[in-house]
Amino acid sequence: EAGVTQFPSHSVIEKGQTVTLRCDPISGHDNLYWYRRVMGKEIKFLLHFVKESKQDESGMPNNRFLAERTGGTYSTLKVQPAELEDSGVYFCASSQGVLAGGTFFGPGTRLTVL
C-alpha cells in the first residue's frame, strides 16, 4: 500500500512568488493534515481536513496560505505571495481513525524562499 506522497520534494522560489504544494494521502484516509517545521524547530500544526471540509485551520499563519482538498482526495497548499519566513519543511499527514497514533506522515516538501 502506498504511503502519503508529497510533491515537489524541494522548491526554491523568490520572495513574492507563488508556490503550490501537493499531498496525496493514503487511500481511504478521510483525515488529512498539514504541518510545518521551520528552521529545525518544532513541527507545527497548520490545518486538518475531514474529507473535503476544513475541520480545524487554527494553525494557518495568515491569509497568504490557502489549503484545499478537492473531492476529499488530494490536497494542495498554496502560498501567495511567499515571504522569507515561509521557508521550511511542509509535511502532510493522513489518518483514518481518531487515534493520533494512526497518523502517517509524508516525506515533506522543503520550501526555500530567497
Partner 1 sequence: DQQVKQNSPSLSVQEGRISILNCDYTNSMFDYFLWYKKYPAEGPTFLISISSIKDKNEDGRFTVFLNKSAKHLSLHIVPSQPGDSAVYFCAASAIQGAQKLVFGQGTRLTINP
Binding site for partner 1 (CB under 8 A): 4, 9, 31, 33, 35, 40-45, 48, 56, 91, 93, 95, 98-108
Distance of closest approach, residue 2 Cβ to partner 1, in angstroms:
14
- The secondary structure of the chain in percent helix, strand, coil, rounded to multiples of 5, reads 10, 50, 40
| Closer CB to partner 1, 16 or 102, in the complex | 102
Of residues 4 and 77, the one with the C-beta less far from partner 1: 4
Q: How far is the CB of 76 from partner 1 (least distance, A)?
A: 18
Q: Among 54, 58, 45, 55, which residue's Cα sits nearest to residue 93?
A: 45
**Per-residue cell: 59:** 494553525
Q: Going by C-beta distance under 8 Å and a sequence separation of 6 or more, which residues neighbour residue 98?
A: none
Nearer to partner 1, 74 or 81 (CB): 74
If the CB atoms of residues 7 and 104 are measured against partner 1, the closer one turns out to be: 104
| In the complex, minimum distance from the CB of residue 55 to partner 1, in angstroms, rounded to a whole number | 8
CA 38/CA 46 separation, integer angstroms: 12
